[in-house]
Amino acid sequence: MKKISYLGPEGTFSEEALLKFAGSFNNITPLPMPSIVDVIKSVDRGEAEEGLIPIENSLEGSVNIAQDILAFESEAKIIREITIAIRHNLIAKKGAKISQIKKIISHPHATAQCRIFLSDNLPDAEIIAANSTAEAVRKLTELESDTAAIGTKIAAQLYNLEIIADDIEDSKVNKTRFVFVGNFIPPKSSLDKTSIVCFLKKDKPGSLYNILKEFADRNINLTKIESRPARKDIGDYVFMIDMEGHIHDKVIFEAIESLRRSVYMIKILGSYPVWQEKTQ
């Protein structure tokens, strides 16, 4: 069976995304990893055929560590993407009531994203930080019934706990985009996206304009552009760009080849199918 690593432990949103993609774990071997770096390196070392990592959240923005490892430290390529809605749940031991809860444990991002619910329903509860929502739910098994956790439905099921309030997040449009990484570039599909990193020769006026012009002149739509520190001097940056189209499309290939003349280096992060919720 195909081995797919993901950001663990069991019960995380990453596992939820993997289950959404696979349907079940009958045909794959899931390998939970302690960090995003470990997921990507497991693919580099051949321990896993694919890895699944979060790369962007609609509220928090890009996951910088994921972008940086792919840009600077790994040859793994993005081979597909998947987006899931982030639904937070208040989880407790069976039989517990909201009125009994005195402590809330979860990852700080999760508690921040449930601020309104907590303020309205548990204003006096002590907030305790955990390394992940999954770890928070696991810890409930060791704590008193006056403690609840914010986590996923699959984590509640995993540890035989009860959801005492569901969908408690402030924003109902909170989504996270995950990407699968592997050691190949998939063939063209009906709708693709290409991700690249541009390393500049040196910072000078018009550098970004010259990059964007290559795509604008060819009517290529850029869906995302972001700068990241180049890991050199302060003020040195690389540009990370997502665009519509596949690297094997003539217009995309020509734009990138032309761009190579004006930048120090271009790294292809991947060329892969766009996630389409309705067709999955």
pLDDT digits (tens, 9 = 90+) for 154-195: 999 999 999 999 999 999 899 999 999 999 999 999 999 999
Class of domain 2-85+174-182: alpha beta
DSSP string covering 213-259? HHHHTTTPPEEEEEEEE-SSSTT-EEEEEEEES-TTSHHHHHHHHHH
* 275 vs 59, residue with greater confidence: 275
Is the pLDDT at 222 greater than 70? The verdict is: yes
Class of domain 89-165: alpha beta
From 196, 197, 243, select the one nearest 219 (Cα to Cα): 243
Q: Domain coordinates of the chain in residue numbers?
A: 2-85+174-182, 89-165, 192-279
Summarize pLDDT for 7-26 with one digit per residue, the tens: 988 999 999 999 999 887 88
Please name the CATH architecture into which domain 192-279 falls: 2-Layer Sandwich (3.30)
d(CA 238, CA 229) in angstroms, rounded, equals 6
DSSP state of 11: T
Residues designated as active site: 176, 178
Is the pLDDT at 279 greater than 50? The verdict is: no
Cis amide bond preceding 30, omega within 30: no
Is the pLDDT at 152 greater than 90? The verdict is: yes
Overall residue count recorded for the chain in this entry: 280
Domains 2-85+174-182 and 192-279 are alike in CATH topology: no
Summarize pLDDT for 81-91 with one digit per residue, the tens: 999 999 999 99
Is the pLDDT at 234 greater than 80? The verdict is: no
CA distances from 84 to 92, 133, 182 (A): 24, 16, 20
* 268 vs 206, residue with greater confidence: 268
Q: Which residues contact 204 (CB under 8 A, 6 or more apart)?
A: none
DSSP reduced 3-state for 17? helix
Percentage of the chain beyond pLDDT 90 is 81
pLDDT at 235: 59
